[in-house]
Amino acid sequence: MKIIAAGAMILTALFWSTHRPPVENVSTAREEKARAAGSSKAQNPMADTEDEWRLRLVNRWNPLPKSWSVNVTQLRNGQSIDERCYPDLQDMMDDCRTKGLSPVICSSYRTWTRQEELFNAEVNLLKNQGYSDEKAKEKAGTAIAVPGTSEHQLGLAVDIVDSSYQSLDKGQEDTPVQKWLMKNSWKYGFILRYPNGKSDITGIIYEPWHYRYVGREAAKEIYQSGLCLEEWLDEN
């Protein structure tokens, strides 16, 4: 049975390698590669049955199904996160505070409806600035993921800021909290998900506040490799 299943998978892979749907936007070879890697991981039926839940790829090319649900643990500030990564998140926050720092989780698990509200608000803001509906949606999608494609909906992502500087912009990287997190988050299973210079692969702007749980083992490897999640999944 195993051999038949493996054969079927290879045939499926071959089919998709030669029958990939047409791509509307012009994209780089790197992007194409990341997209291909992503789809094989994301459509892996094992993705949520064993340890693979930690490595589930969600991006604009690998959306979640609308029926997606996850068991969450509520944090003290009203935020919530996938219950399976809560202990590691708590450890990271505790250790960060022990260093005299003041991290604040400003965003975590989002329902589909919440993601939709955020996305539509950004689109409207851009349309008020003169963008056409189409351009506004395209531009909004680089900062706020299109509903169904946000890691926040997955329940494994947190936006963490420094209490002394809570703007979600590049200035965040200079705060003591980000400096500590960028150096240490991997020890707790979290990676800086949207690093500088990888936007053409992740599809998201540089976000020195968005951390994604992948588990301690993978986080260590990804941190040491300098790759973003799409690239790392492609190699593993």
Binding residues for Zn ion, rule: CB under 5 A, are 159, 210
Q: How far apart (Å, rounded) are the C-alpha atoms in residues 189 and 210?
A: 13
Order of all β-strands in the sheet with 210-213: 103-107, 157-162, 210-213, 190-192
Run of H or E residues at 190? strand 190-192
Q: Of 86, 68, 231, which is closest to residue 156 (Cα–Cα)?
A: 86
User: How far apart (Å, rounded) are the C-alpha atoms in residues 132 and 221?
Assistant: 42
Closer CB to Zn ion, residue 36 or residue 168? 168
CB atoms within 10 A of CB 12: 12
* Nearest residue (CB) to Zn ion, 186 versus 194: 194
Least Å distance between CB 210 and Zn ion? 4
The minimum distance between CB 152 and Zn ion, in angstroms, equals: 6
Q: 151 vs 231, which CB is nearer to Zn ion? A: 151
> To the nearest whole angstrom, how small is the minimum distance from the Cβ of residue 172 to Zn ion?
12
Please name which of 190, 206, 197, 208 lies closest in space to residue 231, comparing C-alpha atoms. 197
Contacts of 35-39 spanning 24+ positions with Cβ under 8 A: 35/61, 36/234, 37/230, 37/233, 37/234, 38/62, 38/230, 38/233
Establish whether 138 is a catalytic residue: no
**Which is closer to Zn ion, CB of 34 or CB of 105?**
105
Minimal distance in Å, beta carbon 222 to Zn ion?
A: 17
Choose the catalytic residue: 151, 207, 230, 231.
Answer: 207
Catalytic (active-site) positions: 207
